[in-house]
């Protein structure tokens, strides 16, 4: 993160005429996405839910990070769920790509990690999909909410999990806990 932020500071030096050509070349390579991410990551880190933790494997690549969600209530309490977030070059016109890396029994997340969250859809019928005004903070809060208030059994991606919940809520809870013990510790 510091390297990208320092590139942006060098950009200010270039604008004021206090620069050499090496600095100028490195500043030109900073994309619009990366400029947005410097600001958004700072805002995200300042407003992160207490059940979430963000990890940047490479601090120079703000467009790729991992998110750990540890719900403190509901069916998924005591589990630790890891998501991989990849922000495309076309950001903020296109939404980040998110995959759940932790195997989970959830109506809105498949066992292979696909996620059903309207704000991650580029084109959404209900109008709640991605918009350029959305930020990484919205994505993180949305993923966190999949374990509480956005848990949706009526419009599932994992139909089998949703039907399981409708059939037998206690057995559904047991299966969720089995998955947590096996995969989400």
What's the per-residue H, E or C state across 54-70? EECCCCCCCCEEEEEEC
* Residue 104 confidence class, pLDDT cut points 50, 70, 90: very high
Q: Answer whether residue 20 shows pLDDT above 80.
A: no
Q: How far, in Å, CA of 171 to CA of 174, rounded?
A: 5
Sorting pLDDT into bands at 50, 70 and 90, what band is 24? Answer: very low
Tokens of 31: 């994309």
pLDDT of residue 23: 46
- φ, ψ of residue 81 to 5 degrees: the values are -115, 125
Instruction: Of 85, 88, 86, give the one whose Cα is nearest residue 31.
Output: 88
**Residues contacting residue 21 through CB under 8 Å, at least 6 positions apart:** none
**Whole-angstrom distance, CA of residue 160 vs CA of residue 18:** 62
Active site residues: 116
Question: Which of 76, 78, 74, 114 lies closest to 97, judged by CA?
Answer: 114
Q: What share of the chain is helix, strand, coil (3-state, %, to 5)?
A: 40, 10, 50
Q: Residue 122's pLDDT band (boundaries 50, 70, 90)?
A: confident
Cα 66 to chain centroid, rounded: 8
Which tokens belong to 181?
A: 């013990």
Coil, strand, or helix at residue 130? coil
Measured CA distances, 12 to 7, 27, 29, 34 (Å): 9, 9, 14, 16
Structure confidence at residue 53 (pLDDT): 97
CA-CA distance, 184 to 177, in Å (whole number)? 9
Query: Which of 17-31, 79-93, 122-136, 150-164 bottoms out in mean pLDDT, i.e. has the lowest?
Result: 17-31
Look at the block and give the residue holding tokens 């991650």.
120
């Amino acid at each position: 993160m510091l390297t990208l932020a320092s590139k942006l500071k060098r950009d200010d030096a270039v604008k004021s005429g206090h620069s050499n050509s090496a600095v100028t070349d490195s500043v030109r390579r900073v994309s619009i996405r990366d400029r947005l991410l410097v600001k958004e990551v700072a805002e995200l880190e300042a407003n992160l839910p207490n059940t979430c933790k963000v990890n940047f494997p490479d601090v120079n690549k703000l467009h790729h990070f991992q998110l750990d969600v540890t719900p403190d209530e509901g069916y998924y309490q005591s589990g630790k769920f890891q998501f991989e977030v990849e922000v495309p070059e076309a950001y903020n016109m296109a939404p980040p790509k998110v995959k759940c890396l932790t195997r989970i029994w959830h109506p809105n997340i498949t066992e292979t990690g696909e996620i059903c969250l309207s704000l991650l859809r580029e084109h959404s019928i209900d109008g709640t999909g991605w918009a350029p005004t959305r930020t990484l903070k919205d994505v993180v809060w949305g993923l966190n909410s999949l374990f509480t208030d956005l848990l949706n059994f009526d419009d599932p991606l994992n139909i089998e999990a949703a039907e399981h919940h409708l059939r037998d809520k206690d057995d559904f809870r047991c299966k969720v806990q089995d998955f947590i013990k096996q995969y989400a510790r």
